[in-house]
Structure 1
């Protein structure tokens, strides 16, 4: 090969290596931002003045908890709603079936806390394929307050969580035009997982939610350039939700009245990830914003096998693929193993720095950042007795990330609560039939753990 032929080839490799190092720097910057924001937000939780205010001086809140079956830690999860330090709230606990196994626990708590304005609502209203939305419709319709707080049944919250969330929701927009801060429409809480059963899948899920997921979730919400909300614990206004329908098209003056179609919660029964779509609709259709509280949604993880973990991740990657394709395609290049291969190869080509020296440094720094995020969310240091098992689960999560993504990206069908769905545009779903290319990638999906699964099916 002549020198003239080698020059373009070298230039091409230099360019690719430079891009690789720039991308490495960008991803690290996002991770460090998430770590720094977690330290500032979660290591101290001030007491809200609303906790000691009179009931007539604060906004009323309706807490909605959709239930199905005996979730892990269900009694403690539901009891945390009864113990909220807020002077003006009602608690609506809804089940679709009068024989649901959660009802005895609900009735025990109603008897234990007679002073709390709480009641159970039995019966669902079918508005779409999403069982959670169907279960919530009656509670949502019967709620007496404009502010609603939707809490999953596998989540527990600290007593001051509601008061601090209302503080944020009612915070006035900034008057400084340079800040361009719009009104807050959703207050949400980052999940903090704890595995109370020592199964492999539960440990991996715990490591994932408390490190990589939390780090990226907090970073994205800190820069606030895009809607990014999961639905474990969300606070919003019904008056806002009744103005949107999930088409994600900005509304102009009067357009909400002129456009036909369903609005409010029932309009989101066609989505599998209704939580994310509600937040996105408020963001894009009404040009409103979201904010994270300094509290976490304590997510109890039960008997989850490694297969359960894999198929749960596959499900949500396939949903996200139809909601944000570009972000989903980029995802593998933000994971530590693929990223280290890109950066290590680029650095070696440009500077001659050996891979054997770069890779251990990369992974050591990466896990130290992840551990720091974990400890910020937990508000305590990881006990030495738990560090070895955590590191093993963390390593398993990192090794599984790319295979899970490859499995998920080729396919459009998922198993959820014992039913098979086909994912459509924007995360809409329909009941799936048999056959098709997507069926090639469904093997094992029926073993996926259902967070709302009845005990006798576990």
Structure 2
């Protein structure tokens, strides 16, 4: 009798521990979080199927020029991006009756200029211009590059399109359709954006990691968040909005009705030159200051990824984590809890405590289903299944991306300096930036904004 007593007492002790209110409540919170993340992932997967499986041709593609709103495509150029010729050519081949293209370059000797001029000669019927000369209105070189094209654009609708992005010929018409629509709540659409889809033409470890990230987890969460649409969430590879709307906002993110009518704050694109993520801030300003909404069209922004090393990939991910930390702290701090490895640990511990579910079978099932959902999202965006020729490289990169997510976050969250386009910046409150000063943690300093002189010459080509 006595020999069996320890076993009975141990069992009773375990039962008492399992019934501890605080531990049990924590386990159920963890289980709820696990279920919520699966719901968000499945929402992104189903929304991707619904939105991207079918891309009907817009009626605007066949209308007369005078019956559709004109569009000005603004493409900032700097150097020879991967696939630059095909990327820029996709602007010339848009099936839309009324548009112009404005190429912006800071310097006359930029290597991208001959490519733009060659395309202008190839498509003489397209209204295209090259505008040379930046205007320093802030620390963001992209905004400095774009400001003259922004002011000279002939149309109210602006399509700001990065030089490393290639768009389908029907994208403009479908995007204008979306811009003229209403949100589910009946609010006006002020911005149309496109989920990026990475295309790798040179197999490098960083390129494959970026491809696996953008085409699965990032796209899944991006689409899900924009489907729920409780707040602005925009990545600016390809954004369509009205200049008349942008001229009413200043980046304060305060509703216009609550802003001081005597305020002298600058509005329009120049107001966003102080931010590194100007695209995200413009979208947020249109959402919060005007009370308008955004929409995703059924096109993807095909982002051609160049030669990216592992270090390049880590620095790129760290850069945007550090920027987001100063823009939206709470959601950024929650990011690790949305990644598959951390989510699986939470789900495993919770189910083990509540239902005594064995860990190994659960984890195998979790990652199999998680990967299946991610591959389904890939198929919806690409329009086909994962090609057999890259299957094992992609799956290896997917696994590497999942395992690296938490270490990269921990590395990024404790820093404030970032590298972008060969310059180093310190991220400040609300996502503003300034050139980083030389110091122990900053490395070589970048030149201050007042060290730059705007070009006096402006060359406009027709």
Q: TM-score range by the shorter chain?
A: over 0.9
8 Å Cα contact 1:210-1:374 kept in structure 2? yes
Q: Which residue of 2 aligns with 1:393?
A: 397
8 Å Cα contact 1:249-1:285 kept in structure 2? yes
Moved more, 244-253 or 33-42: 244-253
8 Å Cα contact 1:318-1:409 kept in structure 2? yes
8 Å Cα contact 1:72-1:300 kept in structure 2? yes
Alignment of 1:50-129 (within 5 A): 50-129=60-139
Q: Which protein has the larger Cα radius of gyration, Structure 1 or Structure 2?
A: 2
Q: Which residue of 1 aligns with 2:190?
A: 185
Alignment of 1:170-209 (within 5 A): 170-171=180-181, 173=182, 180-209=185-214
Alignment of 1:272-283 (within 5 A): 272-283=276-287
8 Å Cα contact 1:194-1:206 kept in structure 2? yes
Secondary structure of 1:118's aligned partner: strand
Q: TM-score, normalised by structure 2?
A: 0.91
Deviation at 1:181, TM superposition (A): 2.2
Q: Which residue of 1 aligns with 2:232?
A: 227
- What's the Cα RMSD here? 1.8
Q: Which residue of 1 aligns with 2:256?
A: 251
Q: Which residue of 2 aligns with 1:332?
A: 336
Q: How many residues align?
A: 434
Query: Which residue of 421, 424, 446 maps to 1:420?
Result: 424
Deviation at 1:259, TM superposition (A): 2.2
Query: 1:244-296 deviations in whole A, cap 9, x for unaligned?
Result: 0000011118x575321110000000000000000000000000000000000
Q: TM-score, normalised by structure 1?
A: 0.92
8 Å Cα contact 2:71-2:155 kept in structure 1? yes
In 1: Cα distance, 2:367 partner to 2:204 partner: 25
1:169 paired with 2:173, answer no
Q: Which residue of 2 aligns with 1:217?
A: 222
Q: Which residue of 2 aligns with 1:361?
A: 365
Q: Which residue of 2 aligns with 1:378?
A: 382
Secondary structure of 1:124's aligned partner: coil
Query: Which residue of 301, 306, 310 maps to 1:306?
Result: 310
Query: Which residue of 408, 411, 416 maps to 2:415?
Result: 411
Deviation at 1:94, TM superposition (A): 0.7
Unaligned regions of 5+ residues in structure 2, if any? 1-8, 445-462
In 2: Cα distance, 1:385 partner to 1:100 partner: 36
8 Å Cα contact 2:18-2:353 kept in structure 1? no
In 1: Cα distance, 2:368 partner to 2:243 partner: 46
1:318 paired with 2:322, answer yes
Secondary structure of 1:258's aligned partner: coil
In 1: Cα distance, 2:81 partner to 2:336 partner: 32
Deviation at 1:7, TM superposition (A): 6.2
In 1: Cα distance, 2:378 partner to 2:176 partner: 25
Q: Per the alignment, do residues 184 and 136 of structure 1 end up closer, same or farther by CA in structure 2, a change over 3 Å counting?
A: same
Query: Which residue of 254, 259, 266 maps to 1:262?
Result: 266
In 2: Cα distance, 1:249 partner to 1:7 partner: 50
In 1: Cα distance, 2:87 partner to 2:261 partner: 40
8 Å Cα contact 1:322-1:424 kept in structure 2? yes
Deviation at 1:9, TM superposition (A): 7.7
Secondary structure of 2:256's aligned partner: coil
Unaligned regions of 5+ residues in structure 1, if any? 444-458
Secondary structure of 1:350's aligned partner: helix
1:432 paired with 2:442, answer no
Secondary structure of 1:420's aligned partner: strand
In 1: Cα distance, 2:376 partner to 2:98 partner: 36
8 Å Cα contact 1:243-1:256 kept in structure 2? no
Q: Which residue of 2 aligns with 1:452?
A: none
Q: Which residue of 1 aligns with 2:29?
A: 19
Q: Per the alignment, do residues 70 and 256 of structure 1 end up closer, same or farther by CA in structure 2, a change over 3 Å counting?
A: farther
In 2: Cα distance, 1:225 partner to 1:415 partner: 31
